[in-house]
Structure 1
Amino acid sequence: MRAEARQDGPVAAKGHFHPTFRPEIEGLRAVAVLPILFNHAHVRGFGGGFVGVDIFFVISGFLITMILTRDVAAGSFSIAQFYRRRVLRIFPALFAMLAAVTVMAAVAMTPNELVLYARSLVATIFFVSNIQFYADTGYFTTAAMSRPLLHTWSLAIEEQFYIFWPLLLAFGAGRSRRLLWLLLGGVVVASLAASVWMVVREPAAAFYLIPFRAWELGVGGLLALLPSSERLPRLVREGLAGLGLLTLLLCIRYYSDTMYFPGAAAIPPCLATCAIIYAGRSTLTGALLSIAPLRFFGRISYSLYLWHWPVIVFSALWLFLPNVDPKVIAGEIVVSILLAWLSYRLVEQGLRAPIAALRTGPLLRGAGAAMAAGALIAGGIVAANGFAGRYDAGRLAIAKVVDGDHEISYRRGSCFLIAAEDHFDPKRCLTPMGHGPRILILGDSTAAHLWPGFATTLSHYAVTQATMAGCPPQIADKSKDLPCLRFFDRTLRQAARDRTTDAVVLAGNWQSADADKIGATLAELRGWGLNVVLVGPLPRYDAALPRLLFFDSSQSGALAQQHLDSTIWPIDAKMREAAKKAGVTYFSAVEALCSGGKCRNTDASGLPLQFDYVHLTTPGSTIVVSAMRPVIDRAINSKR
């Protein structure tokens, strides 16, 4: 009896699961990478394209486990050889991308952004970028579109997984199949349970950290230990593969970034990927995945994954191109594919042979030297403060506005809810601050950013606050946003019952659809006897205002004006009309800050009024609230 067939002997891959070329898996890589590309490029219909990462995880776990179990059974397992293969696969294309992106970052970023980039560069080089990006998550943290290495979190997950997985395989497979299944299955079950538990408590941790992602690679690893599917009836294998592919397509089409993920939601795409792999190449789905176009994208999938995100980021960050323009989207896709093909031909293929010719010791030392060199470059950038000496003091002051901890001034975590773990504190938030007429600020983050302005006028008003990120204050539409609906409905009903609130200030980051719906909410609040002041949309931009002012070579504000969102004027008109019909007071922030199609964007010291595309700084909030005060006073006096 062969050793791998014995229950008490070393375990090896069996049946058709051996390290020969699998064309359908190469095509499956295309099914993984193309939805990621289209999702990040904002192509409609690919809202769930992020599941491509989960497909990659399963494929990677399957292939690596298959190879490692073969090596263990043959008595040739070596950690050094394992990492040699990882270096040959990962390092050339990765470091070529990092070199190019670092040069672009030096040109396209402000000094403070460049310092943050350098820190992410070090984290990427040492495969811990997932931990850094998790630590940096937050509603107002530096936007994803200014992080050209954000996508490397998944590479970090894989490399962290491959620290312990080979050791477990070597330990278990060298003894018995039962022990191997207990060890690996235990990791998968524990990780999946932890992911399901954590995703509703701290979604960012569940998304970025290895304890909650390991099961996805692990389930691919367990697949490599299964007996061959060749004994299954052809109809069963066809059904498995077809259902698997259909499930992936449905997840790609109907999943969205608003859902809790990974957790239980990641089970369907992971099991679907397993089903396709397990069914084998001799199915109609396998034949479909083996067609030349899909195999082409599968071959370049690693380079395409590496390059697509920097292309998308720098098109917005450097060129200030709108990421919703169809021409920009098409350009980003074409450039990403072209760079991926060049990377595959020149780097992945071109450098593999000469690097592979090195012995294992020199190869691993060379990899370590490359990592050290990258870390030294990043350290130099940090030490030079992002080469801040290139710019004058005025520009540097503008750039620093982006990194201010503005959310603290919004009373984040108690009166302004952002994260799942935040809890509204009625005693603190609904107890009036100051003296005078009682004002309730209610809405999303663009209501919360009014608090600093009201806080400077506490002698004029007694202010309370109930605000939640991402929640425009609509209560008439009962079909969606249930947490928002419940939060606002409970707060407003209490205000109506108490009859102590002189005015409710409703504010939101209004879109055109909101303007069409707000009338029903206003009518309902009027029916409850509440005195409402509706705040219209603020000027907003398709890039962070401080960056537009920083990179404006004319220093005239022309670049900011060029990127001003022109939809605010028709939305303002709709909101004004809705307020008039409902008989409530309207404050036009556009009218207060803009004239003749041009909007004020700096305070008296020349610093931006907004620290990102719309949210106000404390001076900006003070300016807007000062303009709002006469409108609120008239609303209160008219009801007395």
Structure 2
Amino acid sequence: MQSLYPPATQRSRAAPRPSGRGVAVPGAGAGAHAAYRPDIDGLRAIAILPVLLFHAHVPGLSGGYVGVDIFFVISGFLITGLIARELDEGRFSIIRFYERRARRILPALSAMLAVVLAAAAFLYLPGDFEGVPRSALAAILFLSNLWFFTDTGYFAGGADSKPLLHTWSLAVEEQFYIAFPLLLMLIARFAPGARKPLIAGAAAGSLALCIAMRDDASGFAFYLPATRAWELLAGAMLALGLFPAIAAGWRREAVAAAGIVAIATAILMFTPDTPFPGIAALLPVAGAAMLIYAAPGTLVGRALGGGPPRAIGLISYSLYLWHWPVIVFAEYATDAPLAGGRTVAAIAASLALAVLSWRYVERPFRNPARVPARRIFTLSALAMGGLSLASLAMIAAGPWSGRFSPRALELAAGRSDISPERGRCHDTAMRGQAPCLLGTEGAAPDTLLWGDSHGVELAHILSLGARAQGRALLQQTTSSCPPVLDWRGARDARCARANADLFAMLRARPEIKRVYLAAFWASGAFADRAALARLDRTIAALAKAGKQVVVIGPVPPQPFDVPRRLAHAAGRESAITGRDRATMRPMIAGWDALMARWQARGVRLIDPRARLCPNGPCAIIADGQPLYFDSHHLSVAGARLVLRGQPY
């Protein structure tokens, strides 16, 4: 599953909408009479459906994650119109504003969080469970974007075990709405005539920062409000009337049609590898802004305001809240990505829960006659306090190992069978550090392992052999950055620079005589001839520089998280088999012929397939230990098996 992280992440959310007031017509000015815009509800449907289908692995919507950006624009338009109109009429109340936010956001969010905590307590294995109450605490305090920004890496687990990862965008929006009303109040008091240029300037500054940070791999541009604010401010500028109304009907039709085309292009053409946000985010943001600006009265506007789109739009917030936990729990329980009937079932369950949440949670609490202001604040405090206490109790309980058998716990612990030097020695190039020294302390290194994250545990095993011989080696491993000169496939532009710098270091150090190359060769990127050609040139360049090259070939990736699948089958784990060797062939097309050619040149080859799957199905467990710590990274036990008997 493509991650909700910036490097992986799926990126999506449904924005809250204000209760009961309608919205100002674009170009009419914030003080104009509010009029209901059914096309806005339809636009919500255009945002949430691609998100839902993308996360459910429905093909053809590889950019469905841009729904988050559409929702940000809608939210900025609606909320700014409401605030500015009340400020201009002298009746804005910050308390009333937060009352509306509480009515809109907290009831459905609280219900979802309570169900997620209960489901995780029942279903999740130790190692996966501990992160759920922590993320629930962050979500109820609207800090989950900061939590997930810092909670990254292999120790934190992947998106497929984080049922609350989608709440990052809700946190971004609520953090924005802590500061934005206060800013508008200050402008109204001290510089009312400068409101438009000040908001436009803030939007420009946020966009510039977002673009400047587009190559940053930390997640800053993805998760933090400073680089997302421009999307909300795009809607704000529409609500404040920064753009004149379009008089001619045909122009409105053209602008609305262009908006649909822009959004459709992003949804259909973007992929999880598209650098995002940044310049690419301009396309869906501009598309949403054009529709808000010009859709009323047009063919597109009437289509968006029709019954089915409006109905989906009405439940979009609840649908956003529920769809991601449904998908995550379904995949966790079955140890497999959604496909076929399970995809249909997950989508149906998400829609059903969204309807129930909208009808029995959202609507009652948005009605002041049923739930007065004092009561909504009291209930909000009780819900936040209760969920916080429950989360803290679960955090204190730790992994809660008593829920599972000793054998299940032993197998689940395979996810922690990683190099003890992973934290210190992985991604050193991204931290501006030299390659990591392993083996005998004080010895001059004569070997280098160069690779992506797949090389870390292999480097650890090699270092044990080197230490036994009184030798040392260097490790440079960088996530999503294979050991290939002039690599074009990595999202982080620093990969190519890091590889070039490492090669220059190798040429300057003749004492380093042997170079191991290890990477996720079966990822699909190396089924491309151009990628294999670059790898071929890299090997030739290393040989020309006088290095003995050792290629550790493709590790068979498994279609499930190995320790989790084994733990779920504890007591009958011997019946679980891995991927068949034959099914790997499309992933590594061209590899075998290339490896034979390298051998003829004197390159040494280590083929993990020979150890893991010599006769068909690939082993995933040996001597009672999982051979992978996830679905495709070898554990220390797996690396030891692959390198057993190899000369160091």
Do they fold alike, i.e. is TM over 0.5? yes
Tell me the CA shift for residue 451 of structure 1: 0.8
Instruction: Report the counterpart of residue 236 of structure 2 in structure 1.
Output: 221
Question: Equivalent residue for 2:370?
Answer: 357
RMSD: 3.4
Q: Which moved more, 1:510-519 or 1:307-316?
A: 510-519
Structure 1 stretches lacking a partner, 5+ long:
1-11, 633-640
Residue 500 to residue 115, structure 1, CA distance change in 2 (3 Å): closer
Equivalent position of 1:382 in the other structure: 395
Give the whole-Å Cα distance in 1 for the aligned partners of 2:35 and 2:549. Answer: 69
CA contact (8 A) 1:17 1:66 kept: no
The yes-or-no answer on 1:585 pairing with 2:604 is yes
**Which of 337, 340, 347 is the equivalent residue of 1:322?**
337
2:213 counterpart residue number: 198
Alignment counterpart, residue 507 of structure 1, candidates 518, 522, 535: 518
Deviation digits for residues 427-470 of structure 1, max 9, x if unmatched?
x5699988799433233221233111011011446533333322
Q: CA deviation at 1:367?
A: 0.7
- The question of whether the paired residues in 1 share the 8 Å contact of 2:625 and 2:637 is answered with no
Match of 2:422 in 1: 409
What do residues 250-301 of structure 1 show as CA deviations (whole Å, max 9, x unaligned)?
A: 1222223323322333233223222211114112221232233322221221
Q: Are 2:443 and 1:442 aligned?
A: no
| Structure 1, 117-126 or 493-502: larger mean CA deviation | 493-502
Q: Which residue of 1 aligns with 2:172?
A: 157
**What per-residue deviation string (whole Å, max 9, x for no partner) do you get for residues 539-577 of structure 1?**
432332221222214343434x26788734776796344
Determine if contact 2:215/2:275 at 8 Å carries over to the other structure: yes
Q: What is the DSSP-based 3-state SS (H/G/I as helix, E as strand, rest coil) of the residue aligned with 2:626?
A: coil
The answer to whether residue 332 in structure 2 is matched with residue 332 in structure 1 is no
For residue 79 of structure 1, report the CA deviation from its aligned partner: 1.8
Query: Matches of 2:41 and 2:447 in 1, distance apart?
Result: 61
Give 2:432's aligned residue. 423
**Which residue type is aligned with residue 548 of structure 1?**
R
One-letter amino acid of the counterpart of residue 526, structure 2: D
Name the % identity.
36
Distance 1:444 1:432, change over 3 A: farther
Distance verdict in 2 for CA 1:398–1:19, change over 3 Å: farther
User: What is the DSSP-based 3-state SS (H/G/I as helix, E as strand, rest coil) of the residue aligned with 1:113?
Assistant: coil
Deviations 1:14-58 (A, max 9, x none): 389643210111111111111212222233332222221111011
Q: 1:515 to 1:497 in 2, by over 3 A?
A: farther
Which aligned pairs between 1:493-572 and structure 2 lie closer than 5 A?
495=506, 502-511=513-522, 514=526, 517=529, 520=533, 524=537, 525-526=539-540, 528-529=543-544, 531-559=548-576, 561=577, 567-568=583-584
User: Is 2:131 aligned against 1:131?
Assistant: no
What amino acid is the match of 2:630?
A: D
Deviates more, 1:177-186 or 1:272-281: 177-186
Partner of 1:251: 266
Aligned counterparts of 1:190 and 1:373: Cα–Cα separation in 2:
39
Structure 2 letter corresponding to 1:378: S
Number of the residue aligned with 1:59:
74
Q: CA deviation at 1:302?
A: 0.9
CA shift in 2, pair 1:395/1:190, >3 Å: same
1:48 touches 1:257 (CA, 8 Å); kept in 2? yes
Matches of 2:50 and 2:326, distance apart in 1: 16
Match of 1:66, SS state, is: helix
Distance, in Å, in 2 between the alignment partners of 1:227 and 1:499 is 64
Gaps of 5+ in 2: 1-26
TM-score, normalising length: structure 1: 0.85
For the residue of structure 2 that corresponds to 1:504, the secondary structure is strand
What is the aligned residue count? 610
CA distance in 1, matches of 2:50, 2:638: 40
Aligned twin of 2:626: 608
Alignment of 1:78-117 (within 5 A): 78-117=93-132
Q: Do the aligned partners of 2:196 and 2:242 also contact (CA within 8 Å) in 1?
A: no
The offset of 1:393, in angstroms, is 4.2
1:535 is displaced (CA, Å) by 1.9
Q: Is the 8 A contact 1:410 1:449 kept in 2?
A: no
Amino acid at match of 1:423: G
Q: Partners of 1:194 and 1:519 in 2: how far apart?
A: 36
| 1:280-291 map, 5 Å | 280-291=295-306
Q: Which residue of 1 aligns with 2:289?
A: 274
Letter of the 2:53 counterpart? F
Maintained 8 Å contact 2:445/2:474: no
Match of 2:317 in 1: 302
SS of 2:64's equivalent? Answer: coil
| Deviation, structure 1 residue 126 | 1.2
1:457, 1:228 → 2: CA distance?
Answer: 68
1:154 aligned partner, one-letter code: S
Given candidates 161, 182, 185, the residue that maps to 2:200 is 185
Query: Matched residues in 2 for 1:175 and 1:197: separation?
Result: 32
Taking structure 2 as the reference length, the TM-score comes to: 0.84
User: In structure 2, what residue type is equivalent to 1:170?
Assistant: M
Deviations 1:221-271 (A, max 9, x none): 121110785453223322322222211211222223323322333233223
Picking from 346, 361, 371, the partner of 2:360 is: 346
**Residue type of the partner of 2:464?**
T
* Cα distance change on mapping 1:345 and 1:442 into 2, 3 Å: same
Assess, with a 3 A threshold, how the Cα gap between structure 1 residues 407 and 305 changes in structure 2: closer, same or farther: farther
C-alpha distance in 2, partners of 1:263/1:523? 33
CA-to-aligned-CA distance 1:485-522 (integer Å, 9 cap, x gap): 56546645765786655443222222266257476457
2:373 partner amino acid: T
Q: Is the 8 A contact 2:443 2:472 kept in 1?
A: yes
Query: Residue by residue, what CA displacement relative to the aligned partner does 1:67-126 show, whole Å, maximum 9, x if unpaired?
Result: 112222333211221122112211222222222222221122013422210111111111
Name the CA distance, whole Å, in 1 between partners of 2:444 and 2:508.
Answer: 20
Amino acid at match of 1:340: A
Is 1:199–1:260's contact at 8 Å kept on the other side of the alignment?
yes
Aligned partner of 2:476 in structure 1 is: 466
Change (3 A) 1:520 1:182: closer
Deviates more, 1:385-394 or 1:13-22: 13-22
Q: For residue 146 of structure 1, what is the aligned residue in structure 2?
A: 161
Letter in 2 for 1:332: A
Cα displacement string for residues 134-174 of structure 1 (whole angstroms, at most 9, x for unaligned residues): 11123553101100000011111111111121122233235
Q: Does structure 1 conserve the Cα–Cα contact (< 8 Å) formed by 2:51 and 2:66?
A: yes
**Residue 76 of structure 1 corresponds to which residue in structure 2?**
91
Tell me the secondary structure at the aligned position of residue 75 of structure 2.
helix
Match of 1:456 among 460, 464, 472: 464
- Report the CA distance shift for 1:570/1:405 in structure 2 as closer, same or farther (over 3 A): closer
What is the alpha-carbon distance in structure 2 between the residues aligned to residue 61 and residue 520 of structure 1? Answer: 48
- Secondary structure at the counterpart of residue 34 of structure 2: coil
* Structure 2 CA distance for partners of 1:84 and 1:526, relative to 1, 3 Å: closer
Q: For residue 514 of structure 1, what is the amino acid of its counterpart?
A: F
Q: In 2 relative to 1, CA 85–13 (structure 1 residues): closer, same or farther, beyond 3 Å?
A: farther
